[in-house]
Every structure is written in C-alpha cells, then in structure tokens.
Structure 1
Amino acid sequence: MTSVFDLVCRHAAATPDNIALRGATDQWTYRQLRDASARYAGALAAAGLSPGDRVLLAAPSVPEFVVAYLGIQAAGCVVVPVNTMSTRAEIEYVLGDAGCSLAIGWHALGPAVTEAAAALDVPSWTLSPGAPVTGSTPADVVDRDRDETAAILYTSGTTGRPKGAQLTVGNLLSAGEIGAGCSRASSADRIGTGLPLFHVFGQASVLMAALTAGGSMSLLARFDPASMLEMLRRDRLTIMAGVPTMWNAMLHAAGDANPADFAQLRVAVSGGASLPGEIARAFEARFGCTILEGYGLTETTAFGTFSDIDRGGKTGYTGRAVPGLQVQVRDDDGNECAPGTVGEVHIKGPTVMRGYWNRPTDTAAAISTDGWLRTGDLGETDTDGDLRIVDRIKDLIIRGGYNVYPGEVEEVLYEHPDIVEAAVIGVPDDHYGEEVAALIAARPGSELGAAEVSSWARERLSAYKIPRIVRFVDALPKGPSGKILKRSIDRTALTRDTGLGDVAARRH
C-alpha cells in the first residue's frame, strides 16, 4: 500500500527546511507543504468525501495547486485537473462525465467552476493564496494500491468528446522515478517550468520528478518568455522544462541574456511536440545550452523516450525508451518495423494508463490484452534505436497518393530566419484529394511573402511536399501547454479564402 503523498512526507521528515516550491512571491518548505496538504486532506474528509471520490481541480501553476493536488491524494480521492481556460460548458461536461463529488477553483479564475458545479448540484470550494481551509485537522494518509486510479486527465482529441485517461498511483510514482532518473535530479536541484500543472507534462514529468528527487520546484502561473528568463536567473535553475514554442519564444525575447545566465543549467527538457532542429541549434548557439528532447502522451503519464544526457540530443529524435518502458514501431500488420521504416509507435510499461474512464470500448481499442498502447503517432527508429516522431496518423497528408508528413515540411520552414511559427496541414482538394497548406507567423517587421516561402520550400523539398497554400497569421492557436493546436485551424476557411492550388498573398 502506498500514496503519491508519501514522497512529500519522506522529504519533510528527512529535510523539513528544504525548499519544495517557489511561486512568484513566496516559497514553501517540505514541512510546510506536508502540513498544508495534510490539512487539506482533513478538510476533504470532514466534508464527507471518501477514498475514490473524484475532485475537479482548476488552478494555474501556483504552489496552492500542489497543496490541493497532494491533499486530494492524501485523502485517497481522485484528482481531475482541468484547463484554467475551460468554459462553464466544458467544466460541466467533465464534472458530469467523471462523476465528481467536489469542484475546486482558483479564486482569480472567474465564475465558470462555481456556475458549472451549481448547475449539476455539486459542491464547490475556492482555492485562495495560502490554500487555507477552515475547521480541519491534518488527516492520516490513506494507503492505496498502486493500480488504483489517482488522477483522471481529459484528453482533448481531434474527434468526439474528451476522454478521461485514468492514471494510477503506480503510474504517477513511476513517472517521478523515471523523470528524476533521466535528469539525474537530486535534492540539490532547482527545477523550473512555465508549463501548466493541469497538463500531464508539467504534472507527471516535471512536478513528480521534483518531488521524487526532493529538489525545489519554481513555478510560473502563466508562461511569459521574459518572466521565464527572469526566473531562471533569480532561482538559479539547474533543470528547466518546456515545449518548443516556449524555447522559441525565449530565444526571440532573450534581449541581453547570454550563456552566463545558463551556466548553472544542467538539463533543458523539451516535449509536447517535435522540437524543430533550427530552434535547438539556435538555442545552443546563443546560450551554450543543449535541449534534450523527450516523447510521451497523457496515456503514458508523459513518458516514452528521452535523449540520454551523456550521448546528448540528436536533432529530430526523441531518444530511446526510458528505463522500464518498451517502445516499438509497428507496421499495419502489427510487425515491428526495421530502422528507417515509418510505422505506428507502441508503448508498454509501468506508466501506461489504466484505461479511459467509463469507456471500455475505447480502452480495448487503445491497449492490447498484453499491455501495449497504440499511440496514434507515426515514427521511425534509426540504427541506434533512437525514435523520430514523424507525425500523428490523423495529421498525415495524402496528396495525389503521396504521403506528406507535416513535421518534415515544418522543419524546413523553421530554418527560414523570418519564420517564428509554422503549422502545415492538409485541406480538401478535388484533384489531389488533399493539398498542402502552411500557416506562418513571421518575425515582427519582416517583409516575408508567400512567394519567398514557396521558393524556400521548393529548394529543399520534393515538389509534392511544397505548400501550395500559404497564409500569414499574427500567431498560431495554442493549447494550455503551448503546443500548436492544428485542430483549431479552420481548413474549410483556408480552402474557401485562397482557392485550391493558389498561394495566398502576403498578410495585410
């Protein structure tokens, strides 16, 4: 029997005065974190919640999120974190689907949580600075089996309603062990991120690793590149984690930042989406810091592969399977592919989810009887066993019978000095079936035009891969982790506005 909360209790007993969390204006020791979380668990028990009850949590990346999260774990309940930008309707859906007994919302978020909870007759609490709770005493930690559900994270998916991925106590503890091991984290490390903790990357890969190692965790409530760089300097971070758009934003907002600012940084971790090689090379050239890339999903508690610290990163690849996990690339018949052959990525190991909440059919389609998860991602390995993610199966563009992998085209576009962000998608075409379209956010002040983009791509790609539709935008839509959301791009509008086969004029 065990609990996710055991990690904090262990460090609070051994090193009670070590810093566990740093917010914008405050910091919490491991003793303070343990005591506050235990009081929160006591308040949950006093309110009548029982082990296994689901509790919705909507809060930004602040220390109080961690207090409530761990309090829910200590009480033996199941935490259901949601995006802080969720609408009332979205929160109502999650509350109803997960059958939540309580909703907790950060005090500054607005009325969506309380209104959604009231509509379903679910009690709601406000999470305030300091995470105060009234009339409660610290609760005894509820022991749980490792295969019991500890968290339900809803995946946004491209079709249908979001599904709740059930992450177990063992999933989260394994993720912490793997994360700490891959980064060689210790109690001396100062870990920082601008990732949202309600997302699996920040929650499982970063927070759980920090709590496992006993290091400190610096948090940004909302990512801003200048603020992230300031936090790096202020807290002398040794490990930092982010998604590609964050590294790119910091690169462009660096100002007077120089390699000295990164001298203490041991590990920079990138995940959530493929890291364009040009961004990685530019970051290393500017700051003398190598970004190591990893790969995982919500359904695998954020882990799958990671680049080895000793070998360093390999541009375009996410490393080998992390310790304890197996990763295979398979063809349509289920056979393992030879190196250099594209197929679907499959993962097996202690971080693979228990299944989708109340969706046995979806669970059976995703996880085989022998425990292998179908990721829905296309990838290939090289002769060293390193994995390269080519694209999502659903993002694959088939133009005139030829496969076009958007990630390959985006890699080429990112090499252009005036392109800050790029998204390549397929749009319907009567002749080719699908046409290649590119949405581009250019460097401010740039005079980049569609003709130059087309010429740049033509010099570096086969003819069928060249974007025939080019549209300039101020910024691309992004999810809570900063990952570019291609599903939010209106493909019909692209087709209608530009005409098939045409190249859009430069933005106005």
Structure 2
Amino acid sequence: MNATLSVASIPAEQARRRPDRVALIDGARRITFAELWLRARAQAAALIGLGVRPGDRVALMCPNVVDFPVAYYGILAAGAVVVPVHPLSTSAEAEYMLRDSAARLLLCHPVFAEAGHPAAAAVGLPCRAPDSLVAEPIASFVSRQPADPAVVFYTSGTSGRPKGAELSHLNLVMNATVNAFDANDVRADDVALGALPLSHVFSQTVSMNSTWRAGAALVLMPRFEPAEAIRLMVEHGVNTFHGVPTMYVRLISAARERTSLPRLRLCISGGASLPQPVLEAFEETFGARILEGYGLSETSPTAAVNQPIFGSRVGTVGHPVWGVEVEIADPALAERIALLPAGQLGEVVIRGHNLFNGYTGNPDATAAVVVDGWFRTGDLGVKDTDGYLRIVDRIKEMIIRGGYNVYPSEVEAALLRHPGVAAVAVIGIPDEVFGEEICAVVVPSGPITAEDVLAFGREHLAKHKSPRRVEFVAELPLGPSHKIMKRKLKEQFAAR
C-alpha cells in the first residue's frame, strides 16, 4: 500500500490553515494551533533523539494539561504508537500496561511520578517528564500507512486483566472526521470543555481530535469538579460538553448553587447508558438537549449517536455514524453471526472503518470477539424499524432472578425518579433461593430510608424487577473515565 496517513495531520493541518487561532486553553495559558504543532514537532525530535523509531510503543501518563496533547501528537509525529496510561492507575497497573504493550519509554508527568516511576523501573524502561524533552523541531510528521497502529487503549478489565485495543491511524482519523462533520456538527468557532481524562478513548477522539479536526478550541480541565466546570464554561464561553452520565448528574446538582450557567449548544453523552430522568433534568436546568451516543475502545470509539440529520430520539443512542454498520445478532451463537430483524433483543455487533486491529499480543482474545468480520460488543440492544438503536445493558451485568432477566439500567432509571435518590447502581448479588437478588446501591440526596426505595420500586417496576435490598453509600466508586465500577460494589455487598 502506498497511501499514507497520520493522526498527527490533525494539528499539522490546523497549524497550516488556522495558525493564529487559539487551539487550547489551560488555565491562563492560550496556545495557538501554530504553537501546538511546533511544540509537538519539538517533542517528536527529542523522542527520535532518544532512539524512538516508527512503530515503537511510547507510554504516556499525563493529566489534562498542555503536556498531554504536545506529547500525544509528538509521539505520533515521530511515527511511534501512543499507549495512554490511565491517570488513576496504581504502580502495579501501570507496570502491567508497560509490560504488556512492550513500551519502549514512559513519558510521565510529575504529578503521577509516585506510580509511574516505580512502574517504569520494574520493567526496565527509561522514564521522562514530557516537558523535559526539548530539541530542534522536525520539519513534519513521519508518514505511516493507514492500517499502522496509532494508539493502544487498555480496556477497563471488567473480566480478567485489561487488554490493549490497537487502533490504527485510519480508525482515529476517520472517527474524528465523522464525529466532527457528519454526526455532531462541530463548528470552527465552538469551544469545548475537555473534562474527561484525555487518556480515555472518548475524550481523546471526541473532545480532542474531533474538536481540532474542525478547528475549534478546547478548554482543558485536569480534574472534573462540577462547580469548577460550570465556572470554566461560563468564563470561556464553552458551548460544547462531552461527558458520561455521572458527570451530567453532578452538573445538575452543582447548578443549583450557581447564578450563571453556560449557554450550551452541543452536549454528548457516552460511556454508559444515560437514564431518561437525568436527560430531562439537565435539559430543564441548562436548556440544552443531551445527544446520547454509543461506542467502545475497540470501535475508536463512536459507533452510533443521535445525529441532526436523523433527529434525536430519547432513550436511544441514535443511528450508526457514517460508514459504520451496527446490527443486532443472536447472542446464543458464538461461532457465527446471525443477524436478527428489527425489534428483536440481541447482541450489538459492529463493523466498519472504526473497527480496531485487534488486542495487542492476544490473537485468541481478538478471535473471540471478531466473528465473520463483526465485532461482538457484549451489549444487549434493540434496533427499531426506524433504525434507532437502544442499548439495554451489558450481557454480563444482566441479573437473572428466579429465571427472569432483569436489566439494571431499567431499574436504575426508575429509581432515579425518586427525589431522594441522587445516584444509584443496581447489581445482582448471590441468593440461595433465586440465584441472584436485586440490590440497589443508593447515594441519597436527602432523608430517605431503605423502605422508601423498596416501596418506590414496587410502585414503578414489575414485581420481578423491583429491588429486594438497598444499601446506602456516600458516593459510588468511579473508574478513570467516571464510569461506575459495579464489580467493586458486587465484591463489597455480596459478602454481607
């Protein structure tokens, strides 16, 4: 193949087309596209000087500050592959990712030195701070072929150890382009808030690459705090927000204490199912509709989203994005894909330009999820006759109580309508009689008892779906991408 392509072309092209436009706001700092690309090329030169060659894996452990995009595009400009390390990773977790990815070098921001330095030492890797790499900038980025790996994202490891999903330059450039111009109508004068960790695929593709693909500006937030997020959005005229459902819940709560709110035009939710009560409360509070989307690390990530051309439909994740097919398959057939007609519940399967190369160093795991050219997501969904996709739940999170299938997201959506429930996670716990019992783990927003929750469940849910047990917590455990870690809750409450 003679064609070449690089994710580094995203800032390179904007530096050529809009050199003086502000690309990045980090506190009091304003970075233009020209300056961003100059710094990235200098970082690339320094990496090449350290012996990094095209195809080498370079790990990056960095918060949402200027150093992240400079290092990210610098690694790519050198022709190397980025391995983002989750900002909340322990030293042992970071060590596993470094070893599994066969990384050659770790770029570690000083705030993560306590975890990053021992991890690099354990693997025998050099460890450098991103801002310590200075050299005469290279003229342009090193060309790569479209299928060459660009980034390796480690999955959250809901079952077993995390796997490195290898995404190509084609995967990421296409997903950024489709998100910006086909799915979400991103405009050059938009200002987006980068509140999700840029080490996560949702933030990296949708918040950073898509925003800059359109020539818009990005305001970085190192750690999401809802009140501070609102202040930053008002101060900088942010009109675009990307987040997961837990972030929208916290923004709604924080808005009650603010007299001034941002004027949002584009809000995208992904990463987990968005309960309808949250969508309704956010629209009432901020005057902006949330467009729910769907994707995974293995799909770059966006596979489907509510899009202007089709119109949005509450309770769905919209239509597949341009060039991508999303269908429903029989989940009982492991060896082949048998597509189901509209209206039938089954496993969501995906194919298109967004499908990953595979799990790095793990062909067996890749073969288990890529069947007949389709990626098996492990999610249950339904596609209606109008083409809208509704995600029901993770297959592995489905609760089977006395032979009945119970989907936690449905129970959570019902309980969130109780005024005393600020947040809730529904889990299945072992039960001698029914196999599994339904447990609601609740973060209260005011005075509320377990019986209040149980009675509300009985009133609004079928008998086999209503919780039989309630636990109260001050907060739900969240992973690096602000998704609820239900596995931890199961471990905590199953033992009681």
Measured against the shorter chain, the TM-score band is: over 0.9
With 26-35 and 186-195 compared, the bigger mean Cα shift is at 186-195
Aligned partner of 2:480 in structure 1 is 480
Q: Distance in 2 between matches of 1:490 and 1:399?
A: 16
Aligned partner of 1:138 in structure 2 is 138
1:11: how far off? 1.2
- 2:461 matches 1:461: yes
Aligned partner of 1:501 in structure 2 is none
1:45 counterpart SS class? helix
- 2:168 matches 1:165: no
Aligned partner of 1:4 in structure 2 is 7
Aligned partner of 1:47 in structure 2 is 50
Letter in 1 for 2:69: V
Aligned partner of 1:317 in structure 2 is 316
Q: Answer yes or no: is the 8 Å Cα contact 1:76–1:143 preserved in 2.
A: yes
Q: Answer yes or no: is the 8 Å Cα contact 1:428–1:435 preserved in 2.
A: yes
Aligned partner of 1:254 in structure 2 is 255
Match of 1:419 among 411, 421, 431: 421
Q: Distance in 2 between matches of 1:19 and 1:134?
A: 23
Structure 1 residues 118 and 136, CA, compared in 2 at 3 Å: closer, same or farther?
Answer: farther
**TM, length-normalised to structure 2:** 0.96
Match of 2:433 among 431, 440, 445: 431
Q: Answer yes or no: is the 8 Å Cα contact 2:45–2:137 preserved in 1.
A: yes
1:417 counterpart SS class? coil
1:32: how far off? 0.3
**TM, length-normalised to structure 1:** 0.93
Aligned partner of 1:208 in structure 2 is 209
Match of 2:383 among 370, 381, 384: 381
Aligned partner of 1:288 in structure 2 is 287
Q: Distance in 1 between matches of 2:27 and 2:311?
A: 32
Letter in 1 for 2:355: V
Letter in 2 for 1:68: A
Letter in 1 for 2:398: L
Q: Answer yes or no: is the 8 Å Cα contact 2:20–2:32 preserved in 1.
A: yes
Letter in 2 for 1:407: S
Superposition pairs of residues 68-79 of structure 1, within 5 angstroms: 68-79=71-82
Q: Answer yes or no: is the 8 Å Cα contact 1:290–1:313 preserved in 2.
A: no
Structure 1 residues 202 and 257, CA, compared in 2 at 3 Å: closer, same or farther?
Answer: same
Q: Distance in 1 between matches of 2:322 and 2:311?
A: 17
Letter in 2 for 1:3: S
Q: Answer yes or no: is the 8 Å Cα contact 2:268–2:291 preserved in 1.
A: yes
- 2:142 matches 1:150: no
1:308: how far off? 1.7
Q: Distance in 2 between matches of 1:347 and 1:232?
A: 35
Q: Distance in 1 between matches of 2:256 and 2:276?
A: 22
2:460 counterpart SS class? coil
2:440 counterpart SS class? strand
Q: Deviations over 1:282-339 (max 9, x none)?
A: 1111221111100000000111110023554322211011111000011234332233
1:175: how far off? 1.1
Q: Answer yes or no: is the 8 Å Cα contact 2:47–2:133 preserved in 1.
A: no
Q: Distance in 2 between matches of 1:359 and 1:343?
A: 26
Structure 1 residues 155 and 24, CA, compared in 2 at 3 Å: closer, same or farther?
Answer: same
Q: Deviations over 1:199-236 (max 9, x none)?
A: 01001122110121111111100000011111111111
Q: Answer yes or no: is the 8 Å Cα contact 1:190–1:218 preserved in 2.
A: yes
2:111 counterpart SS class? coil
Q: Distance in 2 between matches of 1:190 and 1:205?
A: 13
Q: Distance in 1 between matches of 2:23 and 2:144?
A: 24
Superposition pairs of residues 91-102 of structure 1, within 5 angstroms: 91-102=94-105
1:85 counterpart SS class? coil
- 2:364 matches 1:365: no
Q: Deviations over 1:21-80 (max 9, x none)?
A: 111221210000010000000000011110011011001111210000000000000000
Q: Answer yes or no: is the 8 Å Cα contact 1:440–1:473 preserved in 2.
A: yes
Q: Answer yes or no: is the 8 Å Cα contact 2:39–2:137 preserved in 1.
A: no
Count matched residues. Answer: 488
Q: Answer yes or no: is the 8 Å Cα contact 2:175–2:301 preserved in 1.
A: yes
Aligned partner of 1:506 in structure 2 is none
Q: Answer yes or no: is the 8 Å Cα contact 2:427–2:490 preserved in 1.
A: no
Aligned partner of 1:218 in structure 2 is 219
Query: RMSD between aligned alpha carbons?
Result: 1.4
Structure 1 gaps, min length 5: 498-508
Question: Identity, % of aligned pairs?
Answer: 41
Superposition pairs of residues 103-122 of structure 1, within 5 angstroms: 103-122=106-125
Letter in 2 for 1:167: L
Letter in 2 for 1:195: L
1:398 counterpart SS class? strand
Letter in 1 for 2:448: L
Structure 1 residues 21 and 168, CA, compared in 2 at 3 Å: closer, same or farther?
Answer: same
Q: Distance in 2 between matches of 1:340 and 1:440?
A: 32
- 2:180 matches 1:180: yes
Q: Distance in 1 between matches of 2:385 and 2:285?
A: 31
1:110 counterpart SS class? helix
Q: Answer yes or no: is the 8 Å Cα contact 2:194–2:208 preserved in 1.
A: no
1:379: how far off? 0.7
2:106 counterpart SS class? strand
Q: Distance in 1 between matches of 2:258 and 2:172?
A: 35
Q: Answer yes or no: is the 8 Å Cα contact 2:195–2:224 preserved in 1.
A: yes
